[in-house]
Amino acid sequence: MNDLPQAILLGMPHSGKTALFNLLTGTNRPVGMTVEEVHETLHTDSGDVDLIDLPGVYRLGESSPEEALTMHCLCRHTPRLVISVVDSTNLDVQLYLTLQLWHFGWQVLLVLNMADAAASAGLRFDIRRMEELLGVRVLRTDAFHGTGINRLRRLIGRICYGQAQSGTIRRPEYGEAVDRIFHILTHAYESAGFPPHDEPASYIASRLLEGNSRMIAHFAHHGEQGRRFLQIVDDCRDSISREFNTTPAEFLTDKRYGIIHGLIGEVSVGHGQEWDSRRMTQALDRLLTHRYFGMMIFIFIMFFIFYISFTLGNPMVEAVQHAFDALGSWIGSLMNTHPLIRSLITDGIIGGAGGVASFVPTIVILFACLSLLESTGYMARVAFLMDRFMHKMGLHGKSFIPMLLGFSCNVPAILATRSIESRKDRLVTMFVIPWMNCSARLVVFTLIIQALIPEPWRAVTLWGLYLLGVAIAVLVARLLKSTIFRGGDELFIMELPPYRLPAWRGYLLSVWDKASGYLKKAATFILFGSILLWCFNTFPLRHDDNGTPLGAEVAHRDCYAAQVGRFFEPVSQYAGMDWQANSAMIGAFSAKELLVTQLCILFQARPDPLLEASMDDAERDEYEENLKRDAIANHYTIPQALGIMVFALLALPCIGTVAVIRKESGSWLFTILHFIAFNIIGFCVAVLTFQIASLFS
């Protein structure tokens, strides 16, 4: 891939850049989660191209890890083409990044994405005039509906292989006085003989005029030569301040936006419905981002999602569970092999991994609802709504997005903390993300809630568990920010995308990607874990008085799982956990779904063969499923169920989460202390929950 011509995709958040990348390359990467440089091969008629997707950034600079990564990539690579992706419905904001590309002198292709939405809003642009003013090719696409993708693919190939030209961004005109200052600074820099620098001379001059501290510190370390150059910079800055009565940074920013507004006014040929759309967006935002009503609406929406997840999901979950039970019974009746092998297949593999896979319907419904909220633009409003609350509780405003991702999986959520500039804020967010109720824990809660919690209280219980995780995270974050990680507070700036209906193809692909990822995990890692847990629950084999093995008895009191579980039972009993629950928690360290696997293996209730003989297949399936659920319900009380679920929520982060915390924090000490504190807090809250619930039982 290194020998292929390179093309870089660049764009602001919410521009549809990654959706475009997926359509061009045939991949299905999660939208809004690009945190590093991603390479994929783009197949075109002219030849293959190394297409690079970068994180969404609002401008070129170094004020965030994404901006630093983007600048590093732009300076390190020598692309044949930079593809600047902008949202057609919001050009007055999104063209700022495109305008900065003039510093590099590369060929640029401007992609007006979301063209269908712009047309629906009554926005029309004179593409030829836009190309004349900017100096580059302009192409309309819509990544959500697939409009213009084939044309874009052909054009990228032709430009990268020299069969067509796209042009470079014209140099912005800041006025005669400022243009002269730019000339003075670039000439002074180039003639000073400084060691080669990654950034272009014009970009360096621009950043120095804006007062960039990193750039100033770089030249301050070059002795007398650097001091003389910085004196020239100070003189130029003072000249702009005196002449225009403002700071150079404000002047340059205003000028750039002035150029953009002038360009849009020149190329726009229709804007009638745009104002209706904006008025509707503003009206909705006044309600959905209201500091009081907005929060109430968000809480109601989340409760409704949990309610329909159970209401719609339960019948399908039971149907899948019946199917796995029937499969296990059928395979067991056909096998005349050794009892150990039959028990491994029916109790270990089908009973364990099947118990996890049966909860796919509930997870799909939950993912579908959350993806719908995200694709319509509502989740960005929730992040804005939560900003004030997050700051009061000690978290950074940007912490909400990674924490929200944590409800799907903690691993990508921790990776997403890279968007937080301050290391202190990043570590605090990383510390509390594992308390977000990931989809793996949802499987655990669904099993226990269905078995033990009365139906009217099931949605309330699940909703309460989600809120408990968030509450513990907020309290711990407040404590950390008041003590160990004091300081490092920053402003939270984000753009609110317009409300739009989701592109159903991309929406369904997103839901399928999450569901299939869960199924792949169940078919590989969890399947392997199920086999290990079956061994853990079966060996050593029990013998009679004559030393003859009694056969494959799963979860007997002398198995390894029981021995380990009983070792912790004197302490864990205060949280309502017996040796069976303790042994399940051990497997949960590898993956939370294995807790369900273990419980399904442990509570394989044996049916009455005489009673089964009088039933048809459907009645037999329902009878066996009820036996398993009744076995769990008869073994535990509601206070015990609450204690177990709280411990599963607040303790024992999975091994994948621990590994990524070590990688992203760069510190073994932080990782070890986090693991210890996480388990201590989780156990203490579980004890408190069990003891209080016991008082009312």
The pLDDT of residue 7 is 95
Structural tokens at position 630: 């009744």
C-beta pairs of 286-293 under 8 Å, 24+ apart in sequence: 288/378, 288/381, 288/385, 289/381, 289/384, 289/385, 291/385, 291/388
Residue 553 has pLDDT above 90, yes or no: no
For range 394-409, the mean pLDDT: 72
Structural tokens at position 329: 């019974």
The pLDDT of residue 291 is 75
Residue 321 has pLDDT above 90, yes or no: no
The pLDDT of residue 654 is 78
**Residue 77 · residue 194 · CB < 8 Å:** no
81 vs 50: CA distance, rounded Å: 11
459 vs 444: CA distance, rounded Å: 14
Give the per-residue SS3 of 62-104.
Answer: CCCHHHHHHHHHHHHCCCCEEEEEEEHHHHHHHHHHHHHHHHC
For range 53-73, the mean pLDDT: 82
Distances (CA, A) of 206 to 5, 174, 209, 219: 29, 12, 5, 14
C-beta pairs of 474-479 under 8 Å, 24+ apart in sequence: 474/393, 474/394, 474/395, 474/432, 475/393, 476/431, 476/432, 476/435, 476/681, 477/393, 477/394, 477/395, 477/399, 477/428, 477/429, 477/431, 477/432, 478/393, 478/394, 479/394
Residue 112 has pLDDT above 90, yes or no: yes
Other CB atoms within 10 A of residue 629 CB: 18
Omega of the bond leading into 200 within 30 degrees of 0 (cis): no
625 vs 629: CA distance, rounded Å: 6
The pLDDT of residue 593 is 66
Taking only the tens place, the pLDDT of each residue in 665-674 is 888 999 999 9
The pLDDT of residue 168 is 94
506 vs 535: CA distance, rounded Å: 42
Helices and strands of the chain, counted as H and E runs: 32, 8
**Confidence label for 137 from pLDDT (cuts 50, 70 and 90):** very high
Burial label, 570 (beta-carbon count in 10 A; 0-12, 13-18, 19+): exposed
Domains and CATH numbers, the chain: 6-160 (3.40.50.300), 176-245 (no CATH)
Q: Give the chain's mean pLDDT.
A: 80
**Confidence label for 30 from pLDDT (cuts 50, 70 and 90):** low
The pLDDT of residue 9 is 94
Q: Lowest mean pLDDT: which of 7-11, 324-328, 455-459, 550-554? A: 550-554
124 vs 129: CA distance, rounded Å: 12
Q: Lowest mean pLDDT: which of 64-78, 268-282, 391-405, 454-468? A: 268-282
DSSP character at residue 142: B
Taking only the tens place, the pLDDT of each residue in 533-544 is 678 777 777 665
Q: Compare 209 and 605 and report the one with higher pLDDT.
A: 209
Q: Lowest mean pLDDT: which of 249-263, 503-517, 575-589? A: 503-517
**Cα 236 versus chain centre, distance:** 44
Taking only the tens place, the pLDDT of each residue in 203-257 is 888 888 888 887 888 888 888 888 899 999 999 999 999 888 888 888 888 888 8
**Confidence label for 620 from pLDDT (cuts 50, 70 and 90):** low
425 vs 409: CA distance, rounded Å: 20
Q: Residue 192: what residue type?
A: A
DSSP 3-state assignment of 217? helix
Over pLDDT 90: what percentage of the chain?
22
The pLDDT of residue 3 is 82
Structural tokens at position 395: 């978290």
Over pLDDT 70: what percentage of the chain?
79
Taking only the tens place, the pLDDT of each residue in 408-446 is 677 767 876 776 767 788 889 899 999 988 877 877 888
**Residue 490 · residue 421 · CB < 8 Å:** yes
Residue 605 has pLDDT above 60, yes or no: no
**Cα 72 versus chain centre, distance:** 23
The pLDDT of residue 215 is 83
The pLDDT of residue 134 is 93
The pLDDT of residue 226 is 87
DSSP assignment of 100-128, as one string? HGGGT---EEEEEE-HHHHHHTTEEE-HH
Any bridge partners for residue 82, and if so which? 8, 108
**Confidence label for 531 from pLDDT (cuts 50, 70 and 90):** confident
**Confidence label for 2 from pLDDT (cuts 50, 70 and 90):** low
DSSP 3-state assignment of 527? helix
* pTM > 0.75: yes or no: no
356 vs 337: CA distance, rounded Å: 26
Other CB atoms within 10 A of residue 151 CB: 12
683 vs 575: CA distance, rounded Å: 7
**Residue 450 · residue 320 · CB < 8 Å:** no
DSSP 3-state assignment of 665? helix
The pLDDT of residue 396 is 63
Instruction: Output b/e per residue, 574-604; b: 16+ Cβ within 10 A.
Output: ebbbbbbbbbbbbbbebbbbbbbbbbbbbbb
Longest dimension (CA), the chain: 103
Any bridge partners for residue 140, and if so which? 112
Residue 557 has pLDDT above 60, yes or no: yes
**Residue 335 · residue 328 · CB < 8 Å:** no
For range 509-519, the mean pLDDT: 70
The pLDDT of residue 400 is 75
Structural tokens at position 152: 């874009």
142 vs 121: CA distance, rounded Å: 14
The dihedral region occupied by 520, where left means phi > 0, alpha psi between -120 and 50, and beta the remainder, is alpha
Taking only the tens place, the pLDDT of each residue in 169-190 is 998 888 888 888 988 998 888 8
Residue 286 has pLDDT above 90, yes or no: no
426 vs 664: CA distance, rounded Å: 9
Residue 69 has pLDDT above 90, yes or no: no
Tokens 């535990």, residue located: 636
Residues 6+ apart with CB under 8 A from 260: 91, 92, 95, 96, 99
Structural tokens at position 128: 């030829």
Residue 335 has pLDDT above 80, yes or no: no
For range 645-653, the mean pLDDT: 90
489 vs 481: CA distance, rounded Å: 9
Tokens 């809120």, residue located: 467
Q: What count of Cα atoms within 13 Å lies in the side-chain half-sphere of residue 591?
A: 23
For range 264-275, the mean pLDDT: 69
Residue 457 has pLDDT above 70, yes or no: yes
